[in-house]
Amino acid sequence: MHHSEVQQGAYDRAAPWAPVAQVLNAALAEQRLVGAVVLVYQDGQALCRMAAGWADREARIAMAEDTVFRWASVSKPVVSAAVMRLVADGREARISVRQLLSHTAGLGYRFFEAHDQGSYAQAGVSDGMDASGIDLHNNLCRIAKVPLLYEPGTSWGYSLAVDVLGGAVHHRNVTRGRQQTLVMGIHHRHEDHTM
């Protein structure tokens, strides 16, 4: 990729967020990033909105503000903060939110199974690293069919627990009819994403 081919992020050089744009554009020019989106909001107002680089370099698809990213484990602190808001509202299940947040709920990950006949594999649970095409709701239904690896609260194991918490947050927002979710000051437009 040549520097001249990279879509630079446009910005007002006098804006308070100009240094962010300068760093982003420099990283693109130096090929340390392929593409990025920067959205900064305060009190519901957009302070900085910028998309630059490629969403798909090989296909030459430019990055856009609404490009969907795979967050993987980066989503854990955001989902955890949203769940803590639900706890503050007094909603908790048989497996506690604390156990889900601390990965002591008895859940696991498919990629940790020793062979492809493990309970997560047989149930068709997606660990997010595959291209299963199933949505979060269907994956949660599959997780619910798998026996717990241990009694909740008795051991620790990195797991799909935060996916379960994400499902709780999503369900809570859908049942409240929200189109916008505010989590730690981050606005995220409600869309159906394959997880």
pLDDT 10s digits, 73-120: 777 787 788 777 767 766 565 788 889 999 999 999 988 988 888 999
Place of tokens 């997606």: 126
Selecting among 73, 80, 102, 159, the annotated active-site residue is 73
Annotated active-site residue 4? The verdict is no
pLDDT digits (tens, 9 = 90+) for 142-173: 998 898 899 889 999 999 998 998 888 887 77
pTM exceeds 0.75 for this model: no
Sort residue 140 into left (φ over 0), alpha (ψ -120 to 50) or beta: alpha
Return the structure tokens found at 33: 């990033």
Which three-class secondary structure state does DSSP give residue 85?
helix
